[in-house]
């Protein structure tokens, strides 16, 4: 299903429609895909849909969703797609040549103009640093840390998926919450997490919880982050410790990326500034605070970046490299 955004203008702003340039910005993550249609100064139309990641959905479904998404955003903005100057698509999995070719071919069948296919981490970096150096923490359903030097070279840590990594992510928090609560119960330590997770999933016993949890998806585990945060707010020490450990896990990977940047010959200041995107750090202040406290020598942003701003920045042709 395509959802739009009713707060945008229905007509181009700031110039003659006949000479106005139009741009499409897309962010395709693992769970949803978002689109903006804009001119040189304003976002005119917005829409969102489900994932178009080829690991998650078949090619026909992905292509249909992507085309419908772009058309919906353009219709809301009153923009003809054959008037588009440039499109930038930040796509998870874009390092695959097959994925890049599919994305480019699909978009060229929908919009006019140039098409840029970038990694979803690249557009988030540009949203934060506009082509400059810095470290980005991605912490939503999964997690990944990426740093960029002044010369454009990149260093990363994490991003190995739910079975092999994703420390500090929503999925990691959900799994660790249940594991920690079960261990605490064995030791006779009280925690509200088991009962609250049972309630969240509509279950009635610990046996049901164990069986149910062993069949859940990473997204369903990630949704438990809000349950854990609520327990922590109500004074549950174990829930608070899970969230704090998530922050420490993310901080450890930031430090690793910074070290890799230093050893690769990056300038000393390239890794000083840390930005973040994703629901974990954007919504769970306890995780963000724990990460920040574990990074005393870094300047950590206080607000999550919007990756689509980076995609739009690239589409408008403002990137350095």
Are 60 and 203 within one domain? no
Q: Residues 66-77: pLDDT tens digits? A: 999 999 999 999
If we measure between CA atoms, which residue out of 284, 11, 7, 281 comes closest to residue 135?
A: 281
**Which of 3-12, 38-47, 92-101 is predicted with the least confidence, judged by mean pLDDT?**
3-12
Termini Cα distance of the chain: 35
Asked if residue 117 is part of any domain, the answer here is no
16 or 68: whose pLDDT is higher? 68
| Domain stop point among 85, 112, 139 | 112
**Which range has the top average pLDDT, 31-35, 159-163, 164-168, 279-283?**
279-283
Are 295 and 164 within one domain? yes
Report the C-alpha gap between 60 and 52 in whole angstroms: 10
Are 69 and 211 within one domain? no
Q: Residues 261-285: pLDDT tens digits? A: 999 999 888 889 999 999 999 999 9
At residue 13, the pLDDT reads: 39
pLDDT at 7 over 70: no
| Domain stop point among 77, 112, 147 | 112
Q: Residues 217-238: pLDDT tens digits? A: 888 999 999 999 999 999 999 9
Q: State the average pLDDT over residues 164-168.
A: 88
Asked if residue 107 is part of any domain, the answer here is yes
Are 103 and 240 within one domain? no
Asked if residue 320 is part of any domain, the answer here is no
Residues 6+ apart with CB under 8 A from 150: 132, 133, 266, 267, 270
Are 44 and 150 within one domain? no
Asked if residue 125 is part of any domain, the answer here is no
Mean pLDDT of the chain: 90
Is-contact 261 270, C-beta < 8 A?
Answer: yes
Are 193 and 99 within one domain? no
Are 161 and 299 within one domain? yes
Are 259 and 160 within one domain? yes
Asked if residue 199 is part of any domain, the answer here is yes
Report the C-alpha gap between 285 and 17 in whole angstroms: 43
Asked if residue 120 is part of any domain, the answer here is no
Asked if residue 54 is part of any domain, the answer here is yes
Are 9 and 79 within one domain? yes
HSE-up of residue 164 (Cα within 13 Å, Cβ side): 6
List, in sequence order, every beta strand (DSSP E) within 18-113: 22-28, 32-38, 43-50, 84-91
Are 66 and 138 within one domain? no
Residues in the chain, how many?
321
pLDDT at 5 over 70: no
Are 171 and 259 within one domain? yes
pLDDT at 9 over 50: no
pLDDT at 8 over 50: no
pLDDT at 321 over 60: no
Number of domains composing the chain: 2
Asked if residue 175 is part of any domain, the answer here is yes
Residues 6+ apart with CB under 8 A from 19: none
Are 159 and 104 within one domain? no
Is 178 exposed, middle or buried, given 0-12, 13-18 or 19+ CB atoms closer than 10 A?
Answer: buried
| Domain stop point among 80, 112, 144 | 112
At residue 249, the pLDDT reads: 97
The domain in which residue 184 lies consists of: 131-304
Report the C-alpha gap between 19 and 263 in whole angstroms: 48
We report the CATH number of the domain holding residue 295 as 3.30.420.40
């Amino acid at each position: 299903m395509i959802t739009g955004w009713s707060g945008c203008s229905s007509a181009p702003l700031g110039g003659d429609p006949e000479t106005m340039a139009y741009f499409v910005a897309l962010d395709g993550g693992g769970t949803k895909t978002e689109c903006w249609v804009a001119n040189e100064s304003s976002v005119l139309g917005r829409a969102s849909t489900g994932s178009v990641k080829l690991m998650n959905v078949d090619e026909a479904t992905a292509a249909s969703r992507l085309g419908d998404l772009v058309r919906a955003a353009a219709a809301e903005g009153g923009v003809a797609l054959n008037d588009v100057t440039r499109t930038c698509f930040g796509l998870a999995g874009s390092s695959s040549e097959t994925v890049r070719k599919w994305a480019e071919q699909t978009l060229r069948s929908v919009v006019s103009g140039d098409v840029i296919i970038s990694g979803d981490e690249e557009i988030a970096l540009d949203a934060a640093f506009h082509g400059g150096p810095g470290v980005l923490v991605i912490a939503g359903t999964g997690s990944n840390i990426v740093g960029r030097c002044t010369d454009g070279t990149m260093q990363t840590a994490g991003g190995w998926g739910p079975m092999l990594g994703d420390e500090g992510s929503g999925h990691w928090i959900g799994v660790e919450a249940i594991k920690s609560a079960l261990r605490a119960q064995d030791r006779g330590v009280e925690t509200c997490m088991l009962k609250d997770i049972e309630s969240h999933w509509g279950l009635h016993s610990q046996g049901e919880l164990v069986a149910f949890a062993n069949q859940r998806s990473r997204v369903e585990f990630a949704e438990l982050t809000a349950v854990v945060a609520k327990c922590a707010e109500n004074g549950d020490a174990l829930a608070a410790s899970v969230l704090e450990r998530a922050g420490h896990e993310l901080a450890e990977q930031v430090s690793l990326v910074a070290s890799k940047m230093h050893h690769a010959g990056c300038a000393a200041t390239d890794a000083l500034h840390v930005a973040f995107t994703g629901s974990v750090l954007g919504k769970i202040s306890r995780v963000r605070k724990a990460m920040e406290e574990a990074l005393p020598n870094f300047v950590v942003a206080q607000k999550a970046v919007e990756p689509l701003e980076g995609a739009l920045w690239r589409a408008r042709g403002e990137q350095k490299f």
